Every structure is written in C-alpha cells, then in structure tokens.
C-alpha cells in the first residue's frame, strides 16, 4: 500500500483516535531533541499502516552509489520496493545523478526514505562537481565560530538541495593521538572544549536548517592507532579518562539538542570486555551507557556495518540484528536486507527484543522524518543543481573559513607580508611536484618571479644545483605539496630528498614555507622551526593555496591558531596574526556586499560584443576597497578562435599608455617637486626652445587645450608612391644602422626618431584655447622625463612605480619577455607594416619609436594595470609605500577648466555624468577619472565608491574600421552593471 494515497484519511483517523504506539515519546515535547519537541500525527498515521516487516525495515539504511550503471540502480529500486527500507546512505557519485536516483526511489517508496550522506567537509567529500569546505582540523584553528555555524547551515542547504536529510557530521572525536590513521584531520583538534564548541556550532547550523546532525564516533575514536575500516581498535583507558575526555563533547552536544549519534566499532574493555565485540554491538555501551546513563533520546546510528571492525566477526544480517539488540536505532550499510528482517523477527520471537521496543525506534525514525520535511516530500528540482551547489555566496563563506584557519607559525622580523617589492628578487619553489601549482600562480598575481620545481624523484645532485641557483634570490617562497593526509602514509609522503632540500635552503637564506597538508606533517620537516616564516595550510586545495599566496603578500591577514600540538616548536594555540588589506585581495563579490548573480549580465554584454564581432575577446577586472571581486576572461585572441583569452594575457593598452606611463612619471616628479604643471614645455624640453611649442603651459597641454595638432601620420613620409619604403627609413633585417624593431621583419633607421621629434616641433599650434585631443605632447613626454631625471624613460617607470607595485607585465615590446601566445594580437595592418601585429605596438608612431612612447606602446594584463589604478585611487600610496607624493593624483584627477573643458590633468573624466551614451558609465560620479584606448581598452577609477575598473580588448582585430564596440557601449555598460549591483 502506498502511504501517499491514504495520507489525508489516515491523518484524520489518527487525530480522532488519539492513539499513539509510543506513549513515552509522543508527548516528549520537553525533549532537547528537535524532532521530539512536537507531536507528529503524521508519524502516528503512517505507523498504523505498517506491517511488522515494514516496521523493521524502517530501521534499515542501505548503501547507494550514484556512479554505477543502470542495472545497479535498478537493484536498489528493487530493495526499496520489495523490502520498504527506511533510508539510504549515498556514497561516491555526482549530485545530479544522486538527485535523480533519490527522486526515483522516493517515488516508489511507500514511506519517504531518510536519505543520508557522509559530508563532513561538505558534499565534495562524496560527490564530484560539488564544494568541499575545510577539513575539521582546519576549522579547529578558527576563532570565529559563527563562520562554522554558517558553514553548517550552508552544508545543510546543499544537502536539502539534492534531497539529503541526514549529514553524518560533525566528528567530535578528540584527536589526541598524532598517529591516528582514521580520524586525524577529520577532528577539530585535541582540546575537548574547542572540539565541543566548534562541533556545537556545526551541529546547530545544520539543524537550524532541519538537516539532522550526527555526532561521531561514540564513545570517542580520537586516541587510537587502528583504522576501524580494516580492524578493531582497542581503547584501554579507564572509565575516568573516558568520562573526562572522550565522552565530554557527546554529553555537551546531547544536552544542546543533538539529533543523532553514530556508534563506533571499537573494543573498550572498561565498558564491555567481551572479546572481539565492537562497541556498536555492545548493549552495555549503547543501551546502558548511551541511552540509559547518558539519557540520550535522539536517533542512534551504527557506523557502517560492512566495516571490518565488525564484518570480519559476523556475517551480514547477523551483525545487523546484533547491532539492533545492542540498542542502535538505525542500521547503517545493511548488506543483506532480507536476512536482517528475518533475524530481527526471530529475535522478537525469541524474546531477545520486544515488539514494543522495535516500535519505539520506528516511531522515533518517523518523527525525525516528519521534522525533516519528508511528511510533505517534494521531488528534487533537477534544473540548476550545479549552480545552486556552487553559489558565489557559498564560495565566499568557504574563503572566509580558509582565511580564518590558515595559521602563521613563524614570522621572523615580520618578513610577512613581503613589503618593498622593488628591493626583492623572489623565487617560487614547488616542493614535491614538477608542475606549476595554484600557490605559485597566486603568488605571481603580486609579482612575477622565477618558478622552480622539486619532485619527489629529484636526485641529490640535481638538488645541489638548484640550491646553488637559488642563492641569487633575496627570498625563497616554498610550497610543500602532494603530502599524504593520513598518518598511515610514511612521513606523510615527505622524502629524505625533500628534507635535504628544505633544510639546506632554510639554512642558506630567508625562506618562507607553506605546508599544504595534514598539520601533523610539520613534525616530519626537519629544521622547519628555523625558517623565516611557516604557514600551516592544513590541506591542499586550490582555495587554500590561493589564500596562502594572498597571506604572503598581505592581501589577507593571518588569524588561525593550531588546534593540536605538533612538537616542542609548534604547540596548540600557536598562531601569529598579520593585517590584511596591504595589497589587493582576490575575493567573491559578496565580500564587497554585491551578489554575484547581480553581475551576471556582464557576461551577457561581453558575449554580445563577441557575437556581434565588435571584439574577439576581452579581459575584465573590477575591484572595490582593494578587493578584486570580478576577474573574468572572455572569448579568444582572434575570430579564428584558436587561443582562448586568459586573465593573465597581455593587451596593447593604446592610449591608456598616456596615464600609465607619461602621466605616472610626471605625477611622480610633481610629488618630488621636479615638475610643475604651471611651467612650460620649454622649461623641461630643450628641443622645444625656440619653437612654437616653447611657451605651451603644461596645464593646457595635459588638458588638451594647448593648440597642438591632434596627430601626425609619421609613417606616410617613409613610403614612396609605388608603396615601397624610402631607403633611409626601413629594412627587412636588423643591422647597426637599422637596429630598432618596428614589426616582424621590419627595422627602422637608428636616427629616425629625431625626424619624428623635428616634425612635431614644426607642426602648427592653434592660437585658440580649445579642446583638441592630441597625442603629440605625450610622444614628447619620455624626452621630458629623461631630461628631468637623466634616466631612460622605461628605467624611471620601473624603478619608481612598476617595480614597487609588482606590475611585472606593464611593459613595452612584450615580444622580448613573453611567449607570443600570452600576448593578444591587434590589427592586420595592410598599409604600413602589412602584417598581423602580434607582440609589437599597434600605433604607428609608437612603433616607429621602437615601441616605446608616452602616448601608446604599453602592454599589460588587467591585474597589473589595476594595481596602477589602485595606486591612483589611493592618491599615490600602495602597499605601505608612497610612490606619488603630496596628494598629486587627487589634484591631477580633478577638472581643471570646467565647464568649458571637462578634462583633468592627463586623465579623462565623464563628459556628461549620467549620459547613457557618454564616455563613462551613467552612474559614474563626476569625480571619477581614467582613460580609454583606441584598441578597445578602458581603465577607470571612482574615488567616491573606491572602485577600479579595467576592460581590455582588441576591437581593432582584424581592422580598426570596426567601430562596433563604440556603438554597443560595452565598456561603459559593463561598469554600469557594477553600479547597479552596488545599489
């Protein structure tokens, strides 16, 4: 009989009769157990429909895998239909497949199934394409337990999303044995109070969402060196020890409403000295201690009954009935349902257990199901499962947990965060692997450095060579990778060679070591306590590596404390603190108060531009309050779609070069008192003296109202009427007279730049002080800077600005330092260079100057350009260094001649604030400033909202005639999405 067909009538019958099969529990509204705090007419009505066999089956929970074939899935359906089991425990598989199977099994089950899973650190413990939160040992290092409560609630929400009602978590075992092979990293630590309070937070978070929590492994599995999956651990402590330590967290959680508990497979002679009898099968432990002496009323689950701690002593079915006789309510991983039901019926007939006792347990299960919402079961909605299980909000919570847990154990002379990057030559070493790690990639966001790899197979001779090579670096940052999680792995996988390498490195120079593995592995790394800095990351995931890299450079601060004692150098409670916000942090939008879904239309706008062939691809970055909360690459390098855009790709910045090079240098010099915008071009540039440019005031020059000609097509003077180049201009090969590369197979005469400067000096100057955007003064700017400083333009920028920011990719002529597939190509120049421009500058004038100019020529990725813009947003300060003094940036960023001329000094500003078709987002305030680039680039800062916005594209590919990007207003519309999301 299908219960759902009789639901309404039976509920009425139960209410009218007022009958209850279990009087002791039906009125237990004063119970601490959440599902016993109210009567359940649903449970009463369902119970009355069930046969003796069906009641027994309610206490059975069978294992299910969602990564098996159709025949296997059908076999589970047969068990559900034929025997009417009470629940399922899911193991490996995927969320969509599991949800689909759950729907099928629930629909064919007379009584809704209680669905469970082992998701101690989230669904990712069992299912692919789902989230993994930090292991409990990492959570043990967190001071803010509200985060753990939120994690419990989020895991519960994810469980419910795929139809799971019970999560077998938290682990409340106190791990006071470093050699524990089965608990270890699954425990909150070795201190009973900390374990208890963190387990309480986790439990309450889940049960607040009506997912049943489960404390395991009763009566305490923390101090053993045997894995109960493969054998029967012996716990030979006194009763006093068990009471004071192992049982402590169980009692506390039970007194605070713990919904269920799991009994472990252990031999505990002080409680039951029956040989080879696991605690799961012990009546003195389950009935007398747990239910009797401790008065526990919630659901009692066995640990898996196919584990060798019990299975090697009793066959399936027999072991189940023994567990039931011991006092357990739910039999987990019953492997022979038919035999189990038969044997339980025999036990009832033999008087080993009464029908009334079985019925009490069944009622408890049904009342739990009612509390879990199964009395009104609805199929799992299949659409959007992946997105719901991997929400940005949950990812941000995960990041907060990792940030709060990562523990800084040494920080000699406050080496972290690493400060003055211009003074450093860093090396990033991956120890234990021969592949680039997430940690190294994360470090490279702050400053690019040489990467080194030391696999576990690296020979001693190779190690010696590497150690010698590393001596040339000021600091070495080492990540220790691919460690074993369990103590059963010898030395956690740390080889003698790894120890030799690390020990010698630590002795030779300042070394920062981040250990991505079980925290107990720190004891196996020799002389680790002598390192300049030690970071315990607890586990190896992309997120822990990402956060650890941010800690090294001050994007985030250190907060965690050790939850266990490692050795005499690293003890429980150890953990240093550092401040975050020193440099960029990389976060989810929720970290700045924005919901990720409110930014989803950014993707639509960029993909529209790609679809309409306005651009082949783009790289977009947005930061607020020093937090990069949106960073995404779209499309491909070209319309051939051979190379996808990466966020680390370099774009030709075009006129964004003006504010990134010329203006950066002039502002730095202004702060030093070496440049004054009220002085003239002739004051700073000897070649201007005696020309019509001599008395042009820089304030007018930088606001484009000095009367300069807009631009000059210098290249046209190099071409004969037949299209060939004049003999003294270009050659197709490099030589002493033609040393300067303009493009592939095109080299310009070594003195041709002089002709360009002379042509600028001869160009007319308008007497009208009207706004005319001009490149000419910015072409001259490098000469101005060199005249003031006596330094080459590039060297000055690197030494005073870029090197301090760690803006490694801000460079001219990227073909010299970067692989071609990391540089996005621009236009196919059919007139002048007659080739696809790839790695050389798009602008003709800049190209003829060897790729180095103050108006165009700079390349960079979005991240490094954002650092420069953040420097401007911070009015010249970044990472504790004042690079542009005297509030110069804020002064240069203001309108100088409004309303006649809206420009700032060098910067562009909103022409018409609020105009949806303007040069800035409609919601961008009048105080915002930045610049656009001809190739499709955009860099903008908003001081009022503390925003930095970067949009990089190559809209000129394959031709500059494509103006679709302007027509779509994609760049400003993307920024407007951010403003709307902030509202």
pLDDT digits (tens, 9 = 90+) for 654-693: 999 999 999 999 999 999 999 999 999 999 999 999 999 9
- Preceding amide of 11 cis, omega within 30: no
DSSP3 helix / strand / coil % (the chain, rounded to 5): 40, 15, 45
The answer to whether residue 420 scores a pLDDT higher than 50 is yes
Question: Which tokens is 245 given?
Answer: 């330590």
pLDDT of residue 30: 83
As a whole number, the mean pLDDT across the chain is 95
In 3D space, the residue among 646, 668, 697, 703 whose CA is nearest the CA of residue 863 turns out to be 646
pLDDT digits (tens, 9 = 90+) for 560-619: 999 999 999 999 999 999 999 999 999 999 999 999 999 999 999 999 999 999 999 999
User: Does pTM surpass 0.85?
Assistant: yes
How confident is residue 2, by pLDDT bands cut at 50, 70 and 90? low
* CATH architecture of structural domain 637-909: 3-Layer(aba) Sandwich (3.40)
Domain residue limits, the chain:
36-386, 406-586, 588-628, 637-909
Say if residues 733 and 747 touch (Cβ distance below 8 Å): yes
Per CATH, the homologous superfamily of domain 406-586 is Glycoside hydrolase family 3 C-terminal domain (3.40.50.1700)
How confident is residue 653, by pLDDT bands cut at 50, 70 and 90? very high
pLDDT digits (tens, 9 = 90+) for 632-643: 999 999 999 999
pLDDT digits (tens, 9 = 90+) for 501-536: 999 999 999 999 999 999 999 999 999 999 999 999
Domain 637-909 in the same topology as domain 406-586 = no
Residues 645-661 have a mean pLDDT of 98
The answer to whether residue 56 scores a pLDDT higher than 60 is yes
- 692 by Cβ neighbours in 10 Å (0-12 / 13-18 / 19+) ranks as middle
pLDDT of residue 182: 79
Q: What residues contact residue 356 under an 8 Å CB cut-off, 6+ apart?
A: none
Say if residues 873 and 672 touch (Cβ distance below 8 Å): no
Across the strands, what pairs with 929? 941
CB-based contacts of 2-9 (< 8 A; 24+ apart in sequence): 2/110, 3/46, 3/49, 3/110, 3/111, 6/49, 7/45
How confident is residue 432, by pLDDT bands cut at 50, 70 and 90? very high
pLDDT digits (tens, 9 = 90+) for 917-953: 999 999 999 999 999 999 999 999 999 999 999 999 9
CA Rg, the chain, in Å?
35
pLDDT of residue 769: 86
pLDDT digits (tens, 9 = 90+) for 142-170: 999 999 999 999 999 999 999 999 999 99
pLDDT of residue 229: 73
pLDDT of residue 236: 84
- State how far the alpha carbon of 573 is from the alpha carbons of 51, 141, 192, 201, 701, in Å: 56, 8, 13, 19, 61
Residues 261-283 have a mean pLDDT of 93
> Domain 36-386 has what CATH class?
alpha beta
How confident is residue 29, by pLDDT bands cut at 50, 70 and 90? low
Q: How far apart are CA 337 and CA 78, in angstroms?
A: 11
Residue with tokens 């629940």: 87
């Amino acid at each position: 009989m299908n219960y759902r067909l009789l639901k309404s009538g039976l509920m009425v019958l139960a209410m009218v009769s007022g009958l209850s099969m279990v009087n002791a529990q039906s009125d237990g509204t004063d119970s601490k157990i959440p599902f016993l705090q109210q009567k359940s007419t649903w449970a009463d009505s369902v119970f009355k429909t069930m046969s003796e066999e069906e009641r027994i089956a309610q206490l059975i929970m069978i294992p299910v895998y969602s990564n098996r074939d159709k025949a296997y899935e059908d076999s589970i359906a047969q068990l559900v239909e034929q025997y009417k089991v009470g629940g399922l425990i899911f193991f490996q598989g995927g969320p969509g497949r599991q949800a689909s199977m759950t729907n099928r099994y629930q629909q064919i089950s007379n009584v809704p199934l209680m669905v469970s899973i082992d998701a101690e650190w989230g669904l990712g413990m069992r299912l692919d394409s789902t989230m993994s939160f930090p292991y409990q040992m990492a959570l043990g290092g967190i001071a803010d337990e509200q985060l753990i409560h939120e994690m419990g609630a989020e895991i519960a929400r994810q469980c419910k999303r795929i139809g799971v009602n019970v999560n077998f978590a938290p682990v409340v075992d106190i791990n006071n044995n470093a050699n524990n092979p089965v608990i270890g990293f699954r425990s909150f630590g070795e201190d009973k109070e900390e374990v208890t309070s963190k387990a309480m937070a986790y439990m309450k978070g889940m049960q607040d969402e009506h997912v049943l929590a489960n404390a395991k492994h009763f009566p305490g599995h923390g101090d053993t060196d045997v894995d109960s999956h493969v054998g029967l651990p012996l716990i030979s402590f006194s009763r006093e020890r068990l009471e004071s330590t192992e049982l402590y967290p169980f009692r506390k959680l039970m007194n605070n409403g713990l919904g269920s508990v799991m009994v472990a497979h252990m031999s505990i002679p002080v409680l039951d000295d029956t040989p080879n009898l696991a605690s799961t099968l012990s009546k003195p432990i389950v009935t007398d201690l747990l239910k009797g002496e401790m008065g526990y009323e919630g659901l009692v689950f066995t640990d898996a009954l196919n584990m060798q701690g019990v299975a090697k002593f009793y066959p399936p079915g027999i072991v189940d009935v023994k567990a039931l006789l011991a006092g357990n309510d739910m039999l987990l991983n019953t492997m022979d349902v038919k035999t189990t039901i038969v044997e339980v019926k025999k036990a009832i007939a033999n008087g080993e257990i009464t029908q009334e006792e079985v019925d009490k347990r069944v009622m408890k299960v049904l009342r739990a199901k009612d509390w879990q919402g199964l009395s009104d079961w609805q199929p799992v909605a299949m659409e959007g499962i992946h997105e719901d299980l991997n929400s940005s909000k949950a990812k941000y919570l995960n990041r907060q947990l990792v940030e709060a847990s990562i523990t800084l154990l040494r920080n000699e002379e406050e080496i972290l965060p690493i400060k003055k990057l211009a003074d450093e030559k860093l090396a990033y070493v991956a120890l234990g692997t021969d592949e680039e790690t997430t940690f190294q990639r994360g470090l490279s966001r702050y400053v690019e450095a040489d990467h080194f790899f030391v696999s576990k197979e690296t020979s001693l001779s190779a190690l010696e060579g590497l150690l010698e090579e590393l001596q040339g670096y000021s600091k070495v940052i080492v990540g220790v990778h691919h460690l074993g999680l369990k103590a059963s792995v010898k030395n956690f996988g740390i080889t003698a060679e790894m120890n030799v390498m690390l020990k010698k490195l630590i002795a030779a120079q300042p070394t920062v070591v981040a250990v991505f593995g079980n925290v107990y592995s720190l004891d196996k790394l020799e002389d680790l306590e002598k390192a300049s800095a030690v970071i315990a990351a607890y586990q190896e995931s992309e997120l822990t590596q990402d956060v650890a890299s941010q800690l090294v450079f001050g994007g985030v601060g250190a907060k965690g404390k050790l939850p266990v004692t490692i050795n005499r150098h690293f003890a429980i409670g150890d953990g240093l603190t550092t401040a975050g916000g020193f440099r960029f942090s990389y976060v989810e939008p929720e970290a700045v108060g924005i919901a990720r879904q409110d930014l989803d239309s950014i993707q639509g706008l960029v993909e529209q531009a790609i679809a309409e062939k306005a651009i082949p691809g783009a790289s977009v970055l947005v930061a607020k309050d020093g937090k990069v909360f949106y960073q995404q690459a779209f499309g491909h390098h070209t319309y051939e779609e051979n190379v996808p855009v990466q966020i680390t790709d370099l774009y030709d910045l075009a006129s964004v070069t003006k504010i990134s090079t010329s203006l950066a240098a002039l502002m730095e010099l202004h702060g030093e008192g070496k440049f004054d915008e009220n002085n003239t071009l002739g004051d700073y540039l000897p070649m201007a003296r005696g020309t019509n440019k001599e008395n042009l005031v820089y304030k007018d020059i930088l606001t484009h109202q000095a009367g300069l000609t807009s631009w000059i097509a210098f290249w046209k003077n190099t071409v004969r009427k037949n299209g060939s180049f004049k003999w003294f201009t270009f050659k197709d090969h490099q030589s002493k007279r033609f040393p300067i590369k303009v493009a592939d197979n095109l080299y310009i005469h070594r003195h041709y730049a002089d002709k360009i400067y002379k042509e600028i000096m001869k160009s007319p100057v308008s007497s009208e002080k009207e706004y005319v955007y001009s490149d000419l003064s910015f072409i001259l700017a490098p000469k101005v800077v060199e005249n003031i400083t006596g330094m080459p333009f590039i060297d000055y920028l690197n030494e005073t600005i870029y090197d301090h920011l760690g803006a490694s990719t801000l460079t001219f002529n990227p073909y010299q330092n970067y692989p071609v597939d990391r540089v996005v190509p621009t236009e196919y120049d059919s007139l002048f260079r007659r080739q696809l421009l790839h790695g050389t500058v798009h602008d003709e004038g800049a190209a003829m100057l060897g790729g180095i100019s103050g108006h165009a020529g700079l390349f960079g990725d979005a991240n490094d350009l954002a650092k420069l813009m953040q420097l401007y947003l911070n009015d010249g300060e970044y990472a504790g260094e004042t690079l542009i003094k005297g509030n110069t940036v804020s002064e240069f960023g203001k309108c100088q001649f409004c309303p006649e001329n809206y420009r700032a000094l060098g910067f562009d500003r909103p022409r018409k604030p609020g105009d949806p078709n303007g040069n800035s987002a409609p919601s961008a305030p009048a105080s915002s400033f930045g610049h656009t680039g001809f190739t499709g680039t955009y860099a903008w800062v908003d001081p009022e909202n503390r925003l930095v916005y970067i949009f990089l594209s190559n809209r000129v590919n394959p031709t500059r005639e494509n103006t679709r990007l302007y027509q779509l207003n994609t760049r400003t519309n993307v920024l407007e999405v951010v403003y709307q999301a902030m509202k």
